[in-house]
Structure 1
């Protein structure tokens, strides 16, 4: 089957792109012809279809908006891509007309491509699946995150709450534009009504989409996938003395909360080590630390700036367990699946998608959200209880099967076949 795969980047910049290339390889390995559509960039993985790709915003090659040179041409492109881009639509129509795919799978398209990709597909009668990586359809800020933490006001009060809270980079203008765009797409164009099915990585995502007004019949839960690398974990896991965090060093990711919990746990005095990978000491918010506390943390914790996958893999293999101290709704983060793939237990906050992806005392531990004392208690428990640790290492492979490539492929192929067959009726 010919599958059109749409994403606004065709190089690895983060988790969504890793998923894109992984699912592309998985589908191709199983006999499907995958046709990519994206934005032109020198960073792109080579593709014979790049001539059909859309031009970059303002003809500038940078993956992050903060790095763009603000020109009139750029601002015009930003607005048209945010609302409706005829350029993107025309480029995609040329690709569809040339290759005649059977179905479209849309990943990230908002902001840098355009919802006009849906109309381009529908002009040729293509069924459309859309995989959701964040909450952009029910929250203009995309993450249910505001100045005071987790925020669902757009669900209870409507999208205008985004403007009142200045949720887009603290800007009234930016928030107004996002509010206007989502109202334009959902209430006026009703363009997302044309999507056949939405793929949700978690039941949490599905629940929020239903609360945001999307029909349950169009929402299908298919978790992200990765391969199991160590079925029973490192045999020396019970003698391991390292706790691991890897990810961004940002407030919403809770890195400062982890370090507060580390100090409170006093595990350093018991010969346990903490390694954090993903940034520098300068990236960490110090407002909750005294000067002496922060210096103590720096003297005890091994901090590694963002490194290669090989470095992360080495630490995953040798660690005792990992910690994901998120303050926001991490929607099935890759860090969780990567830990599970090495049969490593994970300590996570008891909220959001973690309630469905970590079984307390079976595959990891749940602590009270935003509570460093609760996190410290769970870290002490798993750092010192070898029997509990070994039972978790034993339990993880069976639980992990739902995140396997085989399971993901089977469910995705079934949905593709069902969607294409509905078109043919």
Structure 2
């Protein structure tokens, strides 16, 4: 592969793979950096496979079990463009000639999936885990939704951009975000039960075309950069900007990627931005309490790490409030479901708006010990 160029890669560690093979592929001419999905991990946690697509239409797979020493190659006559791994179905798929290929690696064969919706050309493949869907983005601005268990087309919709650039998904908030030839980000909810969608909101803040976006999973942070290299950090919960950074550079960023607590800007060179405070991603979360909000017909799910608002009709988590300094130990719904008071194991008290996700009042070290119970009198507001 010394004289070939990596066209697309799928695996669990983008940077590792690039650093390992940048010497052998020399200058990486016309290299296109593709966003990776989750790794292919088996039960022992040690089975990881990297899938790589070369410009000569060769598929190469490396296996962690042999320390990536041996490769498995499949040569095709297809004009391959994208490669992706579907975690739920345990399948590798590619796109070529306005169609999808579902691969059987043991036999080196594929099943072709065609549809009129692909006629404009496929630009992105994205698995949506919480809906068990595959999203296929096609030119100019169409997203089609697929059930890959049955390889069945479900529905399609036209996004609000004239030309679609990129789609990202948030598992935690169960939303998808799109950018295109505009200066805003569109946010959609998908409904698998009804094969339908709705436009939830649009994030407006850039003065020029948004070039690429990245959502950091297990956080409420969405990051975008425009073609003037202005970076904006968004809070998904409040749909507001939390920070704006002007990079003062003319290099056009092709992809954003979060890696090792750094924001990586990929172009013909690699730039990184560090966060002042390390992002602590939520790990195993323990359920604390479930409160039925009778006024708004929803469930308020309290865990030790966050507060989750659940639609009782379809079961979807509408949004999540997190980033508390200490574990939640007690809670009380107040003001007819519009606010909640929570206590922590360190004795802190917070009053939080469930409409905007903002902390309305905060009493640090209200008690020296863990707060175990909270009661509130609506009549006297105490």
| Same fold flag (TM > 0.5) | no
Q: Which has the larger share of strand?
A: 2
